[in-house]
Amino acid sequence: MSADSQNAPDGWQKPQKILVILAHPDDPEFFCGATLARWARAGHIVHYFLLTNGNKGGGPEVTSEELCTIRKAEQLKAAAVLGVRSVRFLDLEDGTLVPCLELRKEIVRILRSEKPDILVTCDPTMLYNWLGRVNHPDHRAAGQVVLDAVFPAAGNVHFFPELIKDEGLQPHTPREVWISLAANPTVSLDVTDTWDLKMKALKEHRSQIGEPRAFELRMRSRHTEDSTDEAPHFEEKFRVLKLQ
């Protein structure tokens, strides 16, 4: 690895196991797809665990069951573009996430069984974004329940001891949590090199992006302020919590 990469916030010295826990099929690509592609390209192992099946993300022309099937298939293709190793769905219904104890236990179960080094989720405090759009309640609930599971539950033997006793899942705390769509980001990664992969992955979410050319232009306009449409640079931002 170069000196630059060693100094970068993700300049990890050996391959990391990275687990992405978010609400919907398409959230990983929209929130941080270029970063996930950068990590996969650098040799890190990326897995997804998505809490809902996305069965409400569409109009009246499709049934909820059809949406569920379409969106899962789109998610698998998009993840493959980025080099993600596996995608699992908890299959909760879209729009119903709440940061309850039952869901917290599910997250603790996945953290203790997968034992990720790095965990990626989103910001539960983001009620509305800088464009004045209301953040989806599932996003807030996902961020909340994931953080609630990370601390203090996942690493403490006294939380959900039945997971240890009945399933042999020992306590585990990820070393870092990377919070995407953060209200107050602390890390900004230059992801210009993998932006095209993010766009390619996003285009697999055909049911979500509308007319592809208009979508591409809209996304391209999100370049950094100090770059141009002709030579754009792109960033993805995170709040990074170091737990160990």
Interface positions with Zn ion (CB under 5 A): 24, 27
Q: Least distance from C-beta 161 to Zn ion, angstroms?
A: 33
Smallest separation, CB 23 to Zn ion (Å): 5
- Beta bridge mates, 19: 47, 119
Amino acid, res. 159: F
Q: How far is the CB of 27 from Zn ion (least distance, A)?
A: 4
> Could you tell me the two tokens for 24?
């919907």
Closest residue to Zn ion, based on beta-carbon distance: 24
- Closer CB to Zn ion, 91 or 167, in the complex: 91
* Closer by beta carbon to Zn ion, 27 or else 236: 27
- DSSP 3-state of 130: coil
Nearer to Zn ion, 33 or 171 (CB): 33
Give whichever of 69 and 224 is closer to Zn ion, judged by the CB atom. Answer: 69
Diameter over CA atoms, the chain: 59
Please say which residue, 10 or 26, places its beta carbon nearer to Zn ion.
26
Of 136, 116, 131, 242, nearest to 187 (Cα)? 242
Task: Write down the least CB distance from residue 153 to Zn ion, Å.
Answer: 24
- Number of C-beta neighbours around residue 151 at 10 A: 13
Rounded to a whole number of angstroms, the minimum distance from the CB of residue 71 to Zn ion is 10
Q: Which two tokens stand for residue 83?
A: 């080099």
Query: Are the beta carbons of 37 and 9 closer than 8 angstroms?
Result: no
Helices (H), the chain: 3-7, 27-41, 64-82, 101-114, 137-148, 161-167, 195-203, 206-209, 212-220
CB of residue 139 vs Zn ion: minimum separation in angstroms? Answer: 6
**CB of 51 or CB of 199, closer to Zn ion:** 51
